[in-house]
Structure 1
Amino acid sequence: MILALVEHDEGTPEELSLEGVAMARELATAEGDSLEVVAVGDEADALGEALGEHGVEAVHCVAHDRLEGETYAPDAWAESVAQLADDCGATAITGPGTDRGRDVLARVGTKLDAPLATDCLGVEVADDGAYELRRNRWGGSLIEHARLEGNRKLLTAAEHEFSSEPAASAVEATVSAFEPDLEDDDLAVRVDRVEAGDEEGISLGEARVVVGGGRGVGSAADYDQLEELAELLGGTVGASRAAVNEGWRPHDDQVGQTGAKISPDIYIACGISGAVQHMVGCKGADSLLAINTDPEAAIIQKADWAVIGDLHEVVPALNDALREAD
């Protein structure tokens, strides 16, 4: 059996978790195995119908009074997954490409003495049962080809590398409660309160259009023209690390290895040089338009389209054209 860890928002599976389920589904199909998921949190029992559309045959809802509400206790989550894997005989456990997914599976690997491969781009099952995989290394600047061996294997999916679309054939997923045996030590570290940030509008992770600004924007005030362009296109604004370090934009706006990973329909990069760390964050974009005065900038080589010019002239012209076309 292939077991997938799923994060959810009050019974609605998160997109990155569905990507992890897609990777698990590929493994289950290749091995002729069943696909089941484990979920923690309130209303996990509402996941059955949605996950059945993704080929999931069973949903195991972790039920424990000390994990109710928004409590996140990484060791308790890991202990729950490990106990369930033993009870169900899971041969592989997958997780989403999120901080929490990587955190939990790393702890599960320690508890089960099982190998873990993170940020997987693709996985195939070899004749001897090992997994042959490709995965991101060095922030995505290098792709590693590796073998994952062991009686039980753990993997997390790289962000936006697997489709979150439903399976070709839906199934009716069963839903059952799983009550783990937890000790006080399992809950010694926990998040028991989440406070909403002051972010407004469309988030970077959900935006279909992202307008990014780098050091070439020049100042915090000059982001007004990028804000206008994003608004006209129904998108949101991002920033490079350099712009964040200058204090022009908050860290929540940062796109890159140490910021957000985005996958919009189009990313418009204004005054951004295209450092490797930044490209890691925007490589999921379907299309990239770069606006830069330097024709030799690294981002120009990666772009689908490029405008060689001053963004302070190009962006206002774009804004004027969009307003006239509206």
Structure 2
Amino acid sequence: MILVLVEVSPEGEAVETSREAVTFARDLSAAGGGVPVDAVVVGAPGEALVGVLASYGVRRVHALTGAAYDSFSGAAWAAGLIEVRERAGSVVVTAAGTPRGNEVLAHVAARTGLPMAANAISFAGLSPFTVTRQVVSGAALEEMRLSERPALFTIAGHAVQAAPADVPGAGEVVLETPDVADADLVARVVSSEEPEPDLSGTLKSARVVVGAGRGAGSADGFGDLLELADLLDAPLGVSRVVTSLGWRPHHEQVGQTGSRISPDLYIPCGISGAIQHWAGCSTAKTILAINSDPDAPMVTKATHAVIGDLHEIVPAINAEIRRRRG
């Protein structure tokens, strides 16, 4: 059996990366002969959440309940996950490669003495269980074998596209009340604040991102780029030099020290493509680079490239989009 930790939004919905993790687990199940896929959620799930998870092929939804789960604690969540896993007998325990998913499974690995692979993007074998994962902030890929059971790993965001199952699962709800030691609650969330709109969360989940680098020229050189982003209903992502110069705010930064993005389309304009920036965008499905330097790393790595001055090319693109939309 495969056990998937599913993160739930404040609105009671399974977050997209967790739905992707369930989809990944379902593909793994099919390759392994159709073993069941169960989910673990924190708190009593609503009917809508159970319905969605069932539509994704989940057999059972194990709900961790009790006062210990009123707020996030990586150690407490791990304790509950381990207890559910020991009763269920799962051979794989996985989660989305989010900060919480990675933290909880790291606790599980430390407590069980098992190896853990973080940010897997695919699996290449079942015996031994082998995954390909992102390392060095996505700048390189590594093949990792997990010969011990249960296999522990997290799944990089957008490694697969979230999709319901052809045959839904039963979605049976099982309320779990694991014992949680006081020591597991020493580090926990005591308060939270809603982020300002259009910050890095939007950037990380966007399907289209417009990028801007030093080629913008100055703090006043982003007008056409912002218009393109608006026309495409996309956020703006920038290179580190842009934020270092104070041209744009840090929450827009893409790269090793900024946000890691995996959009369907990334349009980096005037970005040379230093390794630190590439680490944040290398998993984009399609990259359309606009740059005056044909030998820039971003140009050589891009799916498509337009060579020229972004201040001439981007306005032309904007005009053509407006023309086609009438």
Aligned partner of 1:66 among 65, 68, 83: 68
Match of residue 320 from structure 2: 321
Amino acid at match of 2:30: T
Amino acid at match of 1:138: V
1:27 correspondence with 2:11: no
Shift of 1:16: 0.9
Match of residue 255 from structure 2: 256
Change in 2 beyond 3 A, CA 1:183/1:146: closer
Q: Is the CA contact 1:45–1:176 (under 8 Å) kept in the aligned structure 2?
A: no
Shift of 1:107: 0.3
Match of residue 222 from structure 2: 223
Shift of 1:318: 2.6
Amino acid at match of 1:144: E
Match of residue 38 from structure 2: 36
Q: Is the CA contact 1:11–1:42 (under 8 Å) kept in the aligned structure 2?
A: no
The superposition leaves residues 230-258 of structure 1 with CA deviations (integer Å, 9 ceiling, x where unpaired) of 11222221111221222222222122233
Match of residue 89 from structure 1: 89
Q: Is the CA contact 1:45–1:175 (under 8 Å) kept in the aligned structure 2?
A: no
Amino acid at match of 1:211: V
Match of residue 195 from structure 2: 197
Q: Is the CA contact 1:55–1:167 (under 8 Å) kept in the aligned structure 2?
A: yes
State, as a whole percentage, how many aligned pairs show the same letter.
Answer: 42
Query: Equivalents in 2 of 1:42, 1:277: separation in Å?
Result: 41
Shift of 1:116: 0.7
The superposition leaves residues 168-217 of structure 1 with CA deviations (integer Å, 9 ceiling, x where unpaired) of 22122101211111122111111122212223389213333211111221
Q: Is the CA contact 2:129–2:146 (under 8 Å) kept in the aligned structure 1?
A: yes
Shift of 1:46: 4.3
Shift of 1:44: 5.7
SS at structure 2 position matched to 1:13? coil
1:169 correspondence with 2:173: no
Report 1:144-293 matches (<5 A). 144-200=142-198, 203-293=202-292
Query: Equivalents in 2 of 1:124, 1:46: separation in Å?
Result: 34
Match of residue 131 from structure 2: 133
Query: RMSD of aligned C-alpha atoms?
Result: 2.1
Query: Equivalents in 2 of 1:200, 1:139: separation in Å?
Result: 23
Query: Equivalents in 2 of 1:134, 1:198: separation in Å?
Result: 35
Could you tell which deviates more after superposition, 25-34 or 153-162?
A: 25-34
Change in 2 beyond 3 A, CA 1:283/1:208: same
The superposition leaves residues 139-186 of structure 1 with CA deviations (integer Å, 9 ceiling, x where unpaired) of 223222231111321011122112211122212210121111112211
Q: Output the TM-score relative to the length of structure 2.
A: 0.91
Q: Gaps (5+ residues) in structure 1?
A: none
Query: Equivalents in 2 of 1:260, 1:278: separation in Å?
Result: 10
Query: Equivalents in 1 of 2:92, 2:303: separation in Å?
Result: 38
Could you tell which deviates more after superposition, 194-203 or 232-241?
A: 194-203
Match of residue 113 from structure 1: 113
Amino acid at match of 1:195: E
1:299 correspondence with 2:298: yes
Q: Is the CA contact 2:137–2:256 (under 8 Å) kept in the aligned structure 1?
A: yes
The superposition leaves residues 17-71 of structure 1 with CA deviations (integer Å, 9 ceiling, x where unpaired) of 1221122223333334221011114646642210111111000111012322xx2
The superposition leaves residues 245-294 of structure 1 with CA deviations (integer Å, 9 ceiling, x where unpaired) of 22222222122233223233322111101123322322333322211111
Query: Equivalents in 1 of 2:82, 2:46: separation in Å?
Result: 18
Q: Is the CA contact 1:3–1:36 (under 8 Å) kept in the aligned structure 2?
A: yes
Q: Is the CA contact 1:209–1:265 (under 8 Å) kept in the aligned structure 2?
A: yes
Could you tell which deviates more after superposition, 102-111 or 200-209?
A: 200-209
SS at structure 1 position matched to 2:279? helix
Query: Equivalents in 1 of 2:46, 2:108: separation in Å?
Result: 20
Amino acid at match of 1:150: E
Match of residue 3 from structure 2: 3
Query: Equivalents in 2 of 1:44, 1:114: separation in Å?
Result: 33
Amino acid at match of 1:141: A
Shift of 1:77: 0.9
Shift of 1:78: 1.0
Change in 2 beyond 3 A, CA 1:322/1:24: closer
Aligned partner of 2:141 among 130, 140, 143: 143
Q: Is the CA contact 1:293–1:310 (under 8 Å) kept in the aligned structure 2?
A: yes
Amino acid at match of 2:240: R
Change in 2 beyond 3 A, CA 1:41/1:276: farther
Q: Is the CA contact 2:206–2:235 (under 8 Å) kept in the aligned structure 1?
A: yes
Amino acid at match of 1:26: D
Q: Is the CA contact 1:266–1:289 (under 8 Å) kept in the aligned structure 2?
A: yes
